[in-house]
């Protein structure tokens, strides 16, 4: 029987999510990869327990995480039943809807019909009465924004979610929906965006500064650029890498001489800081307190432990910041 470590909160850092009273761990565990039907269940459970034992209280899912769609939520529900459910009140569990989930006109995008039905399905798969955060996963160009915002507000009022978030919304889209949420007094607290040293679109479109100035939390995914910001590809492409086994996200063409030269230069900075490149890349995201949490993915428990090692050194000198900018921008 699993018993959580008594020391689980000793070393993790927790940040307020925007202007809300909710705190998220600096490192959160995403179940995007490796928690579907193609994963090993014992390894999944070990990763979740390792995360929780080390202060990672936030577990992030979506209705379509798999493969197959819904499999990650089903497996997480089983993990809750086998070990973590007694600790439910110590956990932040989030899920999303917005991408294609089932056939026909009602299983995609941002209508009230889809969002309410999808969350009901997610709650059943995980065996939960509510989630802590429910996200709209992507903007819908065809559904009125008021409908999506009202659906999310209604979900909170129904008790099926405590807070709402959005994902993949740019600055202008965030401003528009934030106005609606403010009028309805909806507990909108967070935007989830892709962000790392190589992908700074969130800075370029102004969302990062806007969110910080307006009490909106930011949680980032792909903080290691699908593994590029690690030492994994410094000497070629390993046969067991995601490029070889699943080329949907990181393409082999991304591993070129120019990119690897940048990675090597970043690795030198990390070594001088006494960190791995992955640790430095995660710490860099949290460098100025504008980001609430970084979402990490993992295929084994040791990777989780390696990633949270960044908590030991999260401060950057001005010289280090400038060097990183010159290399990556």
* CATH code at position 65: 3.20.20.100
Specify if 255 maps to a domain: no
The overall longest dimension of the chain from CA atoms, in Å, is 54
Decide if 228 contacts 261 (C-beta within 8 A): no
Query: Residue 83's domain spans which residues?
Result: 14-228+279-316
Q: Would you give the distance in Å from CA 105 to the centre of its chain?
A: 28
pLDDT digits (tens, 9 = 90+) for 216-271: 999 999 999 989 999 887 776 666 665 655 555 566 666 788 989 999 999 999 99
Would you state the pLDDT for residue 150?
98
What stretch of H or E contains 318?
helix 318-328
Q: Where are the alpha helices (DSSP H) in 185-276?
A: 201-204, 207-213, 242-245, 257-272
Could you give the 3-state DSSP secondary structure of residue 74?
A: helix
> Model confidence at 81, in pLDDT bands (50, 70, 90)?
very high
φ, ψ of residue 220 to 5 degrees: the values are -110, 140
Specify if 160 maps to a domain: yes
What's 2's DSSP letter?
Answer: -
> Model confidence at 203, in pLDDT bands (50, 70, 90)?
very high
Specify if 114 maps to a domain: yes
Which stretches of 176-323 are assigned E, i.e. beta strand?
188-194, 217-221, 293-296
Specify if 234 maps to a domain: no
Decide if 48 contacts 87 (C-beta within 8 A): no
Which stretches of 107-257 are assigned E, i.e. beta strand?
131-136, 161-167, 188-194, 217-221
Would you state the pLDDT for residue 47?
98
- Rounded to an integer, the average pLDDT of 28-39 is 96
Could you give the 3-state DSSP secondary structure of residue 29?
A: strand
Specify if 250 maps to a domain: no
Specify if 165 maps to a domain: yes
**Whole-Å CA distances, 130 to 126, 150, 191, 266:** 10, 18, 20, 42
Q: Would you give the distance in Å from CA 280 to the centre of its chain?
A: 18
Q: Is the pLDDT of residue 63 over 80?
A: yes
> Model confidence at 210, in pLDDT bands (50, 70, 90)?
very high
Q: Would you give the distance in Å from CA 236 to the centre of its chain?
A: 28
pLDDT digits (tens, 9 = 90+) for 98-119: 999 999 999 999 999 999 999 9
Specify if 161 maps to a domain: yes
Q: Which of 116, 107, 112 is nearest to 161 (CA)?
A: 116
Specify if 262 maps to a domain: no
Strand partners, 190: 165, 217
- Rounded to an integer, the average pLDDT of 152-164 is 98
Would you state the pLDDT for residue 242?
59
What percentage of the chain reaches a pLDDT higher than 70?
94
Question: Total structural domains in the chain?
Answer: 1
């Amino acid at each position: 029987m699993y018993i959580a470590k008594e020391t689980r909160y000793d070393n993790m850092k927790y940040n307020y999510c925007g202007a809300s009273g909710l705190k998220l761990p600096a490192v959160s565990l995403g179940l995007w990869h490796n928690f579907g039907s193609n994963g090993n269940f014992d390894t999944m459970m070990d990763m979740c327990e390792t995360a929780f034992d080390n202060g990672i209280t936030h577990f992030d899912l979506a209705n379509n995480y798999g493969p197959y769609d819904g499999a990650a939520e089903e497996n997480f529900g089983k993990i809750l039943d086998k070990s973590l459910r007694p600790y439910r009140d110590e956990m932040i569990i989030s899920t999303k809807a917005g991408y294609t989930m089932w056939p026909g006109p009602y299983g995609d995008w941002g209508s009230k019909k889809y969002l309410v039905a999808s969350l009901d399905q997610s709650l059943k798969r995980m065996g939960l009465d509510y989630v802590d955060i429910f996200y709209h996963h992507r903007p819908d160009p065809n559904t009125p924004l008021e409908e999506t915002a009202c659906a999310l507000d209604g979900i909170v009022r129904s008790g099926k979610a405590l807070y709402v978030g959005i994902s993949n919304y740019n600055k202008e889209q965030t401003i528009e929906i934030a106005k609606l949420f403010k009028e309805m007094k909806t507990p909108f607290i967070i935007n989830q965006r892709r962000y790392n040293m190589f992908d700074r679109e969130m800075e370029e479109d102004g969302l990062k500064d806007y969110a910080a100035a307006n009490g909106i939390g930011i949680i980032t995914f792909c903080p290691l650029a699908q593994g590029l910001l690690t030492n994994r590809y410094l000497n070629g492409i390993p046969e067991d890498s995601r490029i070889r086994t699943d080329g949907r996200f990181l393409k082999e063409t991304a591993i070129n001489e120019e990119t690897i030269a940048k990675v090597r230069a970043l690795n030198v900075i990390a070594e001088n800081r006494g960190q791995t490149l992955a640790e430095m890349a995660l710490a860099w995201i949290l460098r100025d307190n504008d980001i609430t949490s970084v979402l990490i993915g993992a295929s084994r428990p040791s990777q989780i432990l390696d990633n949270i090692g960044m908590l030991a050194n999260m401060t950057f000198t001005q010289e280090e910041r400038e060097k990183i900018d010159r290399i990556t921008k």
